[in-house]
Amino acid sequence: MALGQLSATILKHLNVELIDTLLKNCVPKCKPNDDAETRREAIKSLVNVVQTLGIATIDRNQLTDIVEVMYKSLDDYALDRRGDVGSWVREESMASLT
């Protein structure tokens, strides 16, 4: 969550690595420590980073990757003892795509 709140100055230096890290955390990894809350917060942070940097300053390939990950997140149907936790990720992806 904190990554999305970094200043534009810091984000400009971390741009590529930070966006790649957030992208990796937006999709399920099928591991025991993988959780929907982390994916939801990664999507929120990614949107904040894009808004702070501005779309014009982000590499075209990264923008393509961001949109692809958002669409992949719409297919998150993870379940746990709380029910359909993937819905949290799907909702955030829908809001982010707008």
pLDDT at site 22: 92
Altogether, the residues listed in the chain come to a count of 98
Q: What percent of the chain has pLDDT over 90?
A: 55
- Res. 5: pLDDT tops 90: no
- The helix/strand/coil state of 84 is strand
pLDDT on residue 52: 92
Question: Is 10's pLDDT higher than 90?
Answer: no
The answer to whether residues 37 and 22 touch, using CB atoms and an 8 Å cutoff, is no
- DSSP string for residues in 36-66: HHHHHHHHHHHHHHHHHH-GGGS-HHHHHHH
User: How is the chain split into domains, by residue range?
Assistant: 2-97
HSE at residue 85, side-chain half, CA atoms within 13 A, is 14
Give 16's pLDDT tier (boundaries 50, 70, 90).
confident
pLDDT (tens digit, 9 = 90+) per residue, 36-65?
A: 999 999 999 999 999 999 999 899 999 999
